[in-house]
Structure 1
Amino acid sequence: MIVMDSKAQLTVDIIAKVVEGRITIGNAAKLLSKSRRTIERYVKRYQEVGIQFAVHGNSGKSPPNKTPTSIKKAVQVLIKEKYFDLNLLHLAEQLEANENISVKRETLRGWAHDIHHVKRAKRRRGKIRKRRERMEAPGLMMQMDGSPHRWFGDKKHCLIAMIDDATSEVYAEFFPSETTAGCLKVMRDCIERKGVFKTLYVDRAGIFGGPKRCNFSQMQRACEELGIEIIFANSPQGKGRVERAFDTFQDRLVPELRLNNIRDLTSANAYLKHVFIPQFWQSKIQVKSKHQASEFTALNKHTNLDDICVIKEHRKIRNDHTFSYGNKFYLIDSPLKHSIANQKIEIRKTNKKDFTAHFAGRRLKVSEVNEPSKLATEDLTVQKKLEVLALVEKLGNVSEASRQSGVSRDTIYRHLKLVKQGGVDALKRQETPNIRHKNCVNMAIEKAVVQFSIEHPHLGQQKVAMKLTEALGIDISPNGVRSVWLRNNMNTTALRVDKSQSLKKSA
């Protein structure tokens, strides 16, 4: 059986008429849009094999370079179970590196479309923006930003990155959140490796000295001390170099961290610095600058980054040469020739707990001042009770002591009894959750209210009180019913229905 389309059928019909002499070869060439030589070849083949000449010889055969179906199915299983969050180019690289399967990207696209598993790129309609050329030399401009994201594990972490505008060389590290200390650390790593750069291009966040923190930004202060100028971008697109870098990190780094079973901060930073950046970023993303001469400036031998890339605060020194920091008082122990009272002392925070104090570039020795602690609220209450009892002992008359102190006679007698039984400690308030208040309803009545409410969970407090009075003769007010509900966590219809259903299931 020979299957032909309409074009092949037309070709057979025309060639058959040429063989029968009804159409000339020239007219057949015009009708089929073929050359005279092709029509002659068709006639010869028609006379040899018949109408089969119109069917291509490879029809029904598989191409010799076709990938086996078994490999296709294996790759599709890997896409579903293992590489579900990779883009096509990244997928091709990972299949070749990890699975020893070499498949072209466009072939993978077709296979992924067959199982509806294609990671699509973000497509947004944006404003028309003018292209800004890269800086001519490295070190002229660095862009910096942070990206909070679920990079690994279930919690969000922040990747703080700094990228050279000329070469796209990147310096990055993971932190629990975007903090001043993290930004200072990334900037310090860059300066220690390359030197001091000229400008820092950032957004208007408070960390970098934006409008809200323009007077006390630690990053702004550190950059001023290093001679680095901060430039604020008016839009995220302005610092597009670092923004697009985060897109690449989220697209490639997240799957790689998952595939390597990395779920903690230390391992993620080690993989980022020693594997991802050297093996992928430097070879695929980093470019050569227009001018090879570096604009990074070597650090001055008198410049100490430990004194610059830290959190600095200032405190005023009191007349007795003490200052407060972190809700504690500290005394300056260093010998001083002259008084520095009312001067400002510089506090450099080394970590969450420790700090160093400096004045006029000199580090000072300080010691904590231990002040007597204030009485707690409970101790004050006990002290007031003891004062009333002392007044009773002084006057020798409970009624007179009650009149002068404003404490009832019953309360004074109760306190005297407690001191006689357990001493002064007995005056402290004892937590007795099992002892019911004297105004609480009887336990039997409370059990009856709970049981009736479970059996009729949709009735309100007034209906329950009325039904209990009519049916069981229990005298309880609607407010009493509500108090019982609150003690037993049944104060809403949903809670009573849940409790009723749980009891039915357990039964």
Structure 2
Amino acid sequence: MRKVELKPMEQMKYETIKNLVTNNGNKLNAANKLGISLRQVNRLIIKYNEQGKEGFIHGNRKKSPHLIIKVEIKNKILNLYNNKYYNFNFKHFKEMLLENEKIKISYNSLYNLLDENLILSPKAERITKRKYRDRIQTKIDLNESLSIQEKNLIIDNNILDPKDNHARLPRKKYGGELLQMDASEHLWFGDKKTHLHAAIDDATGMLVGAYFDHQETLIGYYNVLKQTLENHGIPNEFLTDRRTIFDYKSLKNPKPEYSTLTQFGYACEQLGITLNVTSIPQAKGRIERLFGTLQSRLINELRINNIKTIVQANEFLQSYLDKFNKQFSLINDNIPQVYEKINSDTDLNLILAVISSRVFDRGSALKYQNKYFQAYNKNGNLMNFKHRTKAIVIKSFDNKLYCLINSDYYKLIELESHESHSKDFDLGVEKEKKKYTVPNSHPWKSDSYNRMIERAMYKSR
């Protein structure tokens, strides 16, 4: 008798039915255990009695799927592409296979087949070429031998050439016309890596703002923007990374009127600043070169000044910016500026804010960051709003909380879990407790009280 090997699920079915038949068990319990009906249990009992353990082997065991591509067809496709349809892009090649060779294959299956054999499409994007290049470069670094396909890939596609070739661009004509912004993670000071957020003027090369933070954060970029606005004015355009901090488009509503602006994008919109993003580092080469310069200079400056914390580093940057700009920027070339002045009534704390939507509950309070808040008007009076009233919560740059309801601003004050003051017990002066004296007429003292009265009357005689 040949040995029958079952998979875990098949083994569980076999053991359950075996115990059911051997011990004359309950079919309903067996059905619940296996998650099947009583009718299926009866079928398994019949299969067990007729075939034994072998009857529990799945019928598709050792069968090839009917959709699998045969090895002969794969070899034919590869031979056709290498000898007849070379330099065809993969989609065009798929069409030719169906039209001329009567071979029907899906695009994904064709792409995977050609990719496994290191065949690169003439229309391959940079990310695909980079994947091939990194794979080959790793082999070269490890002194591993390259296959014939990999060698041909290097020759035919110049796969080990520089990753991206971008022509040098001239500087913008006016200062403030374009600012490039980014953040750099590095061991700037201490023993932990931090992120330096910075912005540079494309026309003048001036470092207009810089700020350290533990991570690349919205607060870091807000501080850079605030420095720019206070020291120079409102720029015309920002060019940044394609990150969610700057750019996010809703997938459900791709129309412009329904697109979702991020917090930073909203702040730029309020100030009239154009915000553009790019995924190509070379497109914002000035900020990338700036970080190269700072990593060779600023680190040493921070070390010799014994800077150990982020607070100390940000204080040091305030004086370092002037020193850096005097040495490296083109401020002495009389380049015209197009920065706009900020209106005196503009509140930057409300513009550089974090905005979110909330609704009031039945207790006229809203929940924000796991805490409950109530709204107060300008006169300090508590405002009661209906259940489900929508509000826009604004966390200002100076960490104050406001809410906007129907174009009216209200201050949010945290609702404490317990009262901080008691009108009965917190009077400023400790209340003197009244001392209780047991009266002489109390039953406990009646005997001694009567004796005292008798002694007093006796002495008075």
TM-score, normalised with respect to structure 2: 0.49
In proportion to residue count, which structure has more helix?
A: 1
Higher Rg: 1
